[in-house]
Amino acid sequence: MERRRILVVAAALVAALGAVLVFMYVRGADTRAQDQFQTTDVLVATQPIQTGETIEAASSAGKITKKAVANNSLLPEYQVDLSALAGKVALTTIYPGEQIISSKFGTTAAPATLLQIPDNQIAISVNLTDTARVAGFVNPGSQVAIFLNGTDPKSGKTFTQLLLPKVTVIGVGSTTPVSTTTTSQSGAQTTEQLPRTLLTLAVTQDEGQKIMFSQGNGELAFGLLPTDGKATVKPGIRTDYDNLFG
């Protein structure tokens, strides 16, 4: 009889524990569902906020707005207003779509890193689209071949030609949207915002002159080289397609 009573008590305890566990799981599921569908209005960047820019200047320039963000996507230190960041500056570049968080702002901007420019070379910068910079895989230290897409002023024919076989990238700067207008064969114009990124190169004076002239008279594009790689200079592709499939 005593054994039966113990078994009954044990069964009741197991049932009670099971009920508690089910209740806690259901409550946790409800909380997770609420976090997924409930939102909080937080500060978000709409335009790039540059290193050293004050929160007040960024706000006045329309670079910050409030956006509803799902609770399970909120970052630690998210901000719902500017009061906690008053008088502070961005410690790093903040890109469009990023939540404004307190750890990216401080009383002074982080000092700029000095460029390591090899002897007998100079540093120049070019502004490239995402595709022209190999979808963002180009980083400081990368070796790249530089191509020029342009138009021959004598014949009027477009071409693509290797400009420089090997150049070292020593810096990658900020990305900003730039308005680009294209005209179709029917004459219709389309304007779109395309992100462009500043890339800084170490080159000789002759190479720098070629790059700067080409940038002003065509479109540059990089080809990412493997370690110790080098592109071979070959005839370019022109409008007449004589060597396109050769």
> How many helices (H) does the chain have, and how many strands (E)?
3, 10
Per-residue pLDDT at 91: 84
Report domain 39-106's class: alpha beta
- Run means of pLDDT, 10 residues per run, the chain, 246 residues: 60 61 56 65 92 89 92 88 91 87 78 74 91 86 92 85 92 72 74 80 95 93 84 68 57
Which tokens sit at 219? Answer: 């479109």
Count CA within 13 A, CB hemisphere, residue 135.
0
What residue spans define the domains of the chain? 39-106, 122-238
Integer distance in angstroms from the first to the last C-alpha of the chain? 97
Contact by Cβ (8 Å): 237, 160: yes
Q: pTM, whole model, 2 decimals?
A: 0.51
Contact by Cβ (8 Å): 136, 130: yes
Per-residue pLDDT at 25: 56
> What single string gives the DSSP state of each residue in 45-57?
ESS-B-TT-BHHH
Per-residue pLDDT at 22: 54
Per-residue pLDDT at 34: 55
